[in-house]
Chains A and B, each alone.
Chain A
């Protein structure tokens, strides 16, 4: 009886140990990788990883030259960064309109939010590039930025709104009782507190924006995804290139997550 309980105690400890967790995880990964390689061998796929580095960087006449993938990454980052700024302005503006007393403002923001949120991004990109673009004279790049800003701005506005309404009424009353205007109250009291609260969902939205920017390849903008597609059509290195591109996206977004994680700790508020 006694030895029996000691034995079960040992197994209980083993199952709860991090050693068990980690070995389970490694086993699972090895099995998956094994399946994958077996599958690709059955396909008769010939791996040529040695070609990939030259798509990222290459040396020409002793100078470091950016490969097509890095150039594409540059375009992706540029589109994402500009769209991010506009999306945040749009998002905040829409949230404030929605929370205002103006009926027209509320109706306008609701109309924007519901149309954009309930249609696919790729349709919006096509609509803006092929329909709105020729009418108002928008090029490829501005069309892409407009589409992405509108799309992400709609989601960002809901995040902003949630953050703003989460601040208690007492904060408004405290500020108003001191004679602060609504503008000053937003600027100095409400938004600084709201932003800290919505940093996590806002980060998810930025990450979505970077990933969604891959869709601009559909209107032939040479971002990271488009560069990969065109390299594949030249070299047929399908597996290697998509792996590489996925890892590059992952590196960008993980870096961003870590950065925001650091910011969250820095701006920790006590309320």
Chain B
């Protein structure tokens, strides 16, 4: 796949350091830039800092030093900047994190009403369109528990999209799913990628990476070991650590 170097940087992370209270260094002088419209897949062994990096991008983890700028907004101590960044950055979690006491529709509507200050009618229109898009508009009135894992994750994707974010983060979005449900979620993600959504995905789905990613990053011990196209990783990985890791997951 040709490298679609379209547009400026939407994510700029420079010399980011993050150490957890238990002493684990999750990110070490971590640099990464993401272009507008780019699809980046981050792979790496557990504990390599890939999820931490995603969680730093929308302020779910505070960074110790370095800088993160998203669409021109610096991620700093200012509450207003944090909220503005979270408005523009959607996130999909491994464990869905849907609100169990609300219907699917209310899950999608909540942030549109409270954060985007839309009217109920407008929000519902957006929500129904998105549910249609992820193929579960018939479940709008259902509660999350009544859905399968794959359906719940598709609701979670629609919920994040309802904010019309400029960047979508996927934190192992298919890892908690039964094997037969992985496909339906990946299909939704692939469609988003083809539409030009900027995406940063922590994922071990190499098929997905090969099909839609512009860049694959292999991380270990809080730093980037190797970065390149998916084909590069499949055909000619340079680093020994990368080869070892790929031989284990492929």
A179 touches B83 (CB 8 A): yes
- Is B163 an interface residue, CB under 8 A from the partner? yes
A193 contact set on B, CB distance < 8 A: 99-101
CB closest residue in chain B, given A267: B101
Known A179-B115, A180-B114, A181-B83: A269·B101 in contact at CB below 8 Å? yes
CB closest residue in chain A, given B156: A174
- Is A264 an interface residue, CB under 8 A from the partner? no
- Is B67 an interface residue, CB under 8 A from the partner? no
> How distant is A101 from chain B, measured CB to nearest CB, in Å?
12
One of A174, A184, A269 near B97 (C-beta < 8 A):
A174
- Is A196 an interface residue, CB under 8 A from the partner? yes
Within 8 A of B (CB), among A161-182: 170-171, 173-181
Known A178-B86, A179-B87: A173·B97 in contact at CB below 8 Å? yes
- Give me the interface of A with B, judged by CB distance under 8 Å: 170-171, 173-181, 184, 188-189, 192-193, 196, 269-271
Count, A-B residue pairs, CB within 8 A: 70
Q: Using an 8 Å CB-CB cutoff, how does the interface string of B84-126 with A read, 1 for contact, 0 for none?
A: 0011011101011111110000000011001100000000000
Q: Kindly list the 8 A-B residue pairs having the minimum CB-CB distance in the complex, ordered from nearest.
A: A174-B97, A178-B111, A270-B145, A177-B91, A271-B100, A179-B86, A170-B97, A179-B115
Known A170-B95, A184-B114, A271-B145: A177·B100 in contact at CB below 8 Å? no
Interface size on B, residues (CB 8 A): 28
Known A188-B114, A269-B100: A177·B145 in contact at CB below 8 Å? no
Q: Using an 8 Å CB-CB cutoff, how does the interface string of B203-246 with A read, 1 for contact, 0 for none?
A: 00000000000000000000000000000000000000000000
Q: A270-B100, A270-B143, A270-B146 are in contact. List 20 more A-B contacts (CB 8 A).
A: A170-B93, A171-B97, A173-B93, A173-B97, A174-B96, A174-B99, A176-B59, A176-B86, A177-B86, A177-B89, A177-B97, A178-B111, A179-B115, A184-B114, A184-B115, A188-B110, A189-B99, A193-B99, A270-B145, A271-B101
- Is B58 an interface residue, CB under 8 A from the partner? yes
Residue pairs across A and B with Cβ atoms less than 8 A apart, 26 shown, are A170-B95, A170-B97, A171-B97, A174-B93, A174-B98, A174-B99, A174-B156, A176-B60, A177-B58, A177-B86, A177-B90, A178-B111, A178-B159, A178-B163, A179-B86, A179-B111, A179-B115, A180-B111, A188-B99, A188-B114, A189-B110, A193-B99, A269-B100, A269-B101, A270-B100, A271-B101
CA distance A174 to B101 in the complex (A): 14
B90 contact set on A, CB distance < 8 A: 177-178
- Give me the interface of B with A, judged by CB distance under 8 Å: 58-60, 83, 86-87, 89-91, 93, 95-101, 110-111, 114-115, 143, 145-146, 156, 159-160, 163
B114 contact set on A, CB distance < 8 A: 180, 184, 188
A178 touches B110 (CB 8 A): yes
CB closest residue in chain A, given B146: A270
A189 contact set on B, CB distance < 8 A: 99, 110
CA distance A139 to B91 in the complex (A): 56
> How distant is A183 from chain B, measured CB to nearest CB, in Å?
10
CA distance A270 to B60 in the complex (A): 27
> How distant is B153 from chain A, measured CB to nearest CB, in Å?
12
CA distance A189 to B115 in the complex (A): 14
CB closest residue in chain A, given B94: A170
B93 contact set on A, CB distance < 8 A: 170, 173-174, 177
B115 contact set on A, CB distance < 8 A: 178-180, 184
A173 touches B60 (CB 8 A): yes
> How distant is B55 from chain A, measured CB to nearest CB, in Å?
8
Most chain-B Cβ atoms within 10 A of its Cβ — which of A170, A173, A176, A177?
Answer: A177
CB closest residue in chain A, given B87: A179
B101 touches A196 (CB 8 A): yes
A192 contact set on B, CB distance < 8 A: 101
CA distance A174 to B115 in the complex (A): 14
> How distant is B249 from chain A, measured CB to nearest CB, in Å?
25
CB closest residue in chain A, given B83: A179
